Structure 1
Amino acid sequence: MTATADAEAAANELTPLADYLGNVLRRLRALPPLDLDLTQAHGNVLAEDVVAPHAFPAFDQAAVDGYAARWEDISGGGRGPSYVPAPSGTPGGRTIRLNVVGDLGAASWRPVRLTPGSCFSVAAGAPLPVAADVVVPVEWTDQGMAAVEIFRTPKRGYGVRRAGEELPAGTLLARAGTYVSPALVAVFAATGIGHVVVRPSPRVVIVATGDELVDVGRGSQPGQVVDANSHALTAAAAEVGALAYRVGICDDDPEGLRGLLEDQTLRADLIITTGGTGTGPGDMVRRILSRREGGRAGPVTFTDVALYPGTALGFGTVGAEEVPVVCLPGDPGAALIGFEVLARPAIQLLAGAEPVFRPSVRAHLLETVSSPAGLREFRPAHVAERRGGGYTVQPLSGGPFTLSGLAEANGLLVLGERVTTAAAGSTVDVLLLDRRR
């Protein structure tokens, strides 16, 4: 049997990534809903539909600074209802001049009424007088105080916002599953909403494991590896919208690891570990969390998945509260890819967000690449929009294990299990990474 055939046979024993993800995500449920004050709701996902209890605007109001008037009183001075400059007098010599009978600001509340030939000076946001159907912008007038002369005639309704014109009471403002953005917060507030029911942001705890790990601030040397993973994964979890907590480094001590995970279940909705998922002599996480006790399987199942890089992934629950735990490989590149593939969708599902996966596009490949047989590869790449439509994708040098490539990438080139070579010019799938720069 050839080396290629051996590799294909080994790959056939791996669990397809799609099957593995489906099995894992079916075991997760969105967190219970929580009623939050509007100022705390931003960044969460709505758990219920939200309907406007009040109209917006709540009353007829001026949209611009100017003079609230009756259009029939001013239309004789122009050439019909248009924005074209008109002379200040009619052919008969009559000047468009209105008496200014009062001033109205945004805090005015007493109802007033216009009489023929009169107007009110109004500020934007001020309630309109009864019978007013136009606001003449202040710059279209001589800005008079007791009387005003109008130089241009706006259309009927110009500068006027009617009650409920934008959002009548009873309007569906947002459906369950909608992300609460700053603009949506403004819509809720404007229609009289002070609280909304949301899915809370998941609390995610990140633990790096390994006797060889040392904290940042120094260089690696033989026998020591700087812990890049827990810092990177904490940032990745925060980027998704989770409340991320970095616990730090845990040595390869069975009792220490069990105790640490048990303690973290009190404040976590999801625990992510990194390192020790393989079958080597130092891979304690897999050995400890998959150990059978009392005839029962361990709390975490480790699966060799058809994924490149990082085939070994773990998933299960720990503690009396059965908090989900995701176990990622120790290589930094494999850990970040594993986060994208498994941990990120899990966080999205817990948060009630849809879709749980990154958006993807089909792109024109600019360079021929090879890929391991039987594995679904995620390779750092740069994707760009083509002039005239569509996308191109350029694989970044170094392959999927390079941290520099992941730092530069704005997409992940996806090569399926049956792809061993993708030729330049072919069309491939690319996951779009959200790089907020």
Structure 2
Amino acid sequence: MTATADAEAAANELMPLAEYLGSVLRRLRALPPLDLDLTQAHGNTLAADVVAPHPYPAFDQAAIDGYAARWEDLAAAGRVGSHPSFGKHEGGPRPVRLNVVGDLGAASWRPVRVTPGTCFSVAAGSPLPIGADVVVPVHWTDQGMAAVEILHAPKRGSGVRRTGEELAAGQVLAGPGTYVTPAMVATFAASGIGHVLVRPSPRVVVVATGDELVDVGRPSQPGQVVDANSHALTAAAVEAGALAYRIGICDDDPEGLRGLLEDQTLRADLIITTGGTGTGPGDMLRRVLSRRDPGRGVVEFTDVALCPGATLGFGTVGGEEVPVVCLPGEPGAALIGFEVLARPVIQLLAGAEPVFRPSVKAHLLETVSSPGGLREFRPAHVAERRGGGHTVQPLAGGPYTLSGLAEANGLLVLGERVTTAAAGSTVDVLLLDRRR
């Protein structure tokens, strides 16, 4: 049997990524909802329909500064599209003169009525006088105070916002799983909503394990590895919408490791570990967490058809049964593992829909090879084409290169049956949230 055949046979023994993710996500439920003040709701996802209790606008109002009048009184003035000018128009429509009987501002509250031949000077947002059905812009008039000449007649209803024109009372403004944006907060407030039911942001604790790890701020020496993972994964969890806490480095001490993780269950909705997922002599985390101790939870480690980072762990820790995701120790594999497993878990706990990043079909600019039997995620740069669609350029170094991941705005996805993807072919690309 050839080396390629051996590799494919080994890959066939791995669990397909889609099957693994389905088995994990089916075990989880979104966090219990909270009723939050509107000012605290931004960044969370809704747990129930939000229904407008009142219409918006709440009353008929002027949309612009100008003069509120009856359209019938303006019929003799110039039509839209003509060129208004002061003075008389030989052989054409003449300005319409109306008496200005009052001024209205946004704080005006007494109801008033416009009668034939009269108008009100109004500011944008002010209540519309009863009987008025048009607001003439100031620059279409001579800007008179006691009386005004209307030089140009707008269409009926122009410059007016009617009650409920934008949002009707009883209208569903947003549904469960919707991310609350600043504009959505404004919409809720404008329609009279002060509190909303949301899923809280998950509290995520990040722990790096391994005797070889040292903290940042000094170069690695033989037998030492700088802990980049816990910093990167904490940042990734924050980007995913979590409240993330970096615990730091935990040595490969069985009791110390188990005790640390159980202590964190009091403050965490999810624990993410990195390192120790293999079967080597130094992989203490796998041996400790896969032990079935009553009341202490258990983590199952699965060999997944994923490149990079084939071994992932998922289970619960402590009596509270807090979910734990165990990622590989190699930095590139840890970050890819976060994208494919930990990030969807965070999104599900937060009640977000969908839980996966958006993807696009893209035109591949360079031929690439991929290991057979594995679903590979490769750092790439995706761009929109001028004529529509997208192109994708794989970045040098492949998935194990941190510099490639740092530059990437997408992840090129090559399926289990793909060994070579030719330039010009269409491939799937996950879009990363990078502000550039």
TM-score, reference length from structure 2: 0.96
Task: Tell which deviates more after alignment, 90-99 or 397-406.
Answer: 90-99
CA distance in 1, matches of 2:285, 2:150: 81
- Residue 317 of structure 1 corresponds to 316
TM-superposition CA deviations, 1:41-71 (whole Å, max 9, x none): 1111111111111000000100001111111
In the TM superposition, residue 86 of structure 1 has moved relative to its aligned partner by 4.1
CA distance in 1, matches of 2:378, 2:351: 28
Task: Tell which deviates more after alignment, 310-319 or 240-249.
Answer: 240-249
CA distance 1:293–1:94, shift in 2 (3 Å)? closer
CA distance 1:282–1:93, shift in 2 (3 Å)? closer
Task: Tell which deviates more after alignment, 296-305 or 156-165.
Answer: 296-305
CA distance 1:83–1:130, shift in 2 (3 Å)? farther
- Residue 83 of structure 2 corresponds to 85
Gaps of 5+ in 2: none
CA distance in 2, matches of 1:99, 1:193: 41
- Residue 185 of structure 1 corresponds to 185
Contact 2:414 2:427 in 1 (8 A): yes
- Residue 165 of structure 2 corresponds to 165
Contact 2:297 2:321 in 1 (8 A): no
1:413 has 2:412 as partner: yes
- Residue 223 of structure 1 corresponds to 223
TM-superposition CA deviations, 1:262-296 (whole Å, max 9, x none): 111111111100111111111111111112347x9
Contact 2:307 2:376 in 1 (8 A): yes
CA distance in 2, matches of 1:129, 1:15: 70
- Residue 366 of structure 1 corresponds to 365
- Residue 279 of structure 1 corresponds to 279
In the TM superposition, residue 93 of structure 1 has moved relative to its aligned partner by 9.0
1:179-258 alignment, distance < 5 Å: 179-258=179-258
Contact 1:361 1:432 in 2 (8 A): yes
Q: Secondary structure at the match of 1:374?
A: coil
In the TM superposition, residue 140 of structure 1 has moved relative to its aligned partner by 1.6
Q: Secondary structure at the match of 1:400?
A: helix
Contact 1:85 1:153 in 2 (8 A): no
Task: Tell which deviates more after alignment, 241-250 or 382-391.
Answer: 382-391
TM-superposition CA deviations, 1:103-154 (whole Å, max 9, x none): 1110110111112221111110000111111111112222222222222221
- Residue 140 of structure 2 corresponds to 140
Q: Secondary structure at the match of 2:398?
A: coil
The residue type equivalent to 2:399 in the other structure is: P
- Residue 104 of structure 2 corresponds to 104
Task: Tell which deviates more after alignment, 273-282 or 249-258.
Answer: 249-258
The residue type equivalent to 2:420 in the other structure is: T
Gaps of 5+ in 1: none
Task: Tell which deviates more after alignment, 312-321 or 69-78.
Answer: 69-78
- Residue 113 of structure 1 corresponds to 113
Task: Tell which deviates more after alignment, 334-343 or 43-52.
Answer: 43-52
The residue type equivalent to 2:309 in the other structure is: G
CA distance 1:401–1:77, shift in 2 (3 Å)? same
1:13 has 2:13 as partner: yes
1:76 has 2:76 as partner: yes
In the TM superposition, residue 39 of structure 1 has moved relative to its aligned partner by 0.8
CA distance in 1, matches of 2:279, 2:384: 42
CA distance in 1, matches of 2:135, 2:342: 56
TM-superposition CA deviations, 1:134-184 (whole Å, max 9, x none): 111112222222222222221111111111111111111112221111111
CA distance in 1, matches of 2:2, 2:168: 71
Aligned CA RMSD, in angstroms, stands at 1.8
CA distance 1:377–1:297, shift in 2 (3 Å)? farther
- Residue 261 of structure 2 corresponds to 261
In the TM superposition, residue 83 of structure 1 has moved relative to its aligned partner by 4.4
CA distance in 1, matches of 2:9, 2:297: 28
Task: Tell which deviates more after alignment, 122-131 or 213-222.
Answer: 213-222
1:420-435 alignment, distance < 5 Å: 420-435=419-434
CA distance 1:99–1:427, shift in 2 (3 Å)? same
- Residue 326 of structure 1 corresponds to 325
CA distance in 1, matches of 2:267, 2:240: 18
Contact 1:86 1:153 in 2 (8 A): no
The residue type equivalent to 2:2 in the other structure is: T
Q: Secondary structure at the match of 2:180?
A: coil
Task: Tell which deviates more after alignment, 284-293 or 60-69.
Answer: 284-293
CA distance in 2, matches of 1:204, 1:89: 74
The residue type equivalent to 1:85 in the other structure is: H
TM-superposition CA deviations, 1:10-52 (whole Å, max 9, x none): 2222111111111111111111111111111111111111111
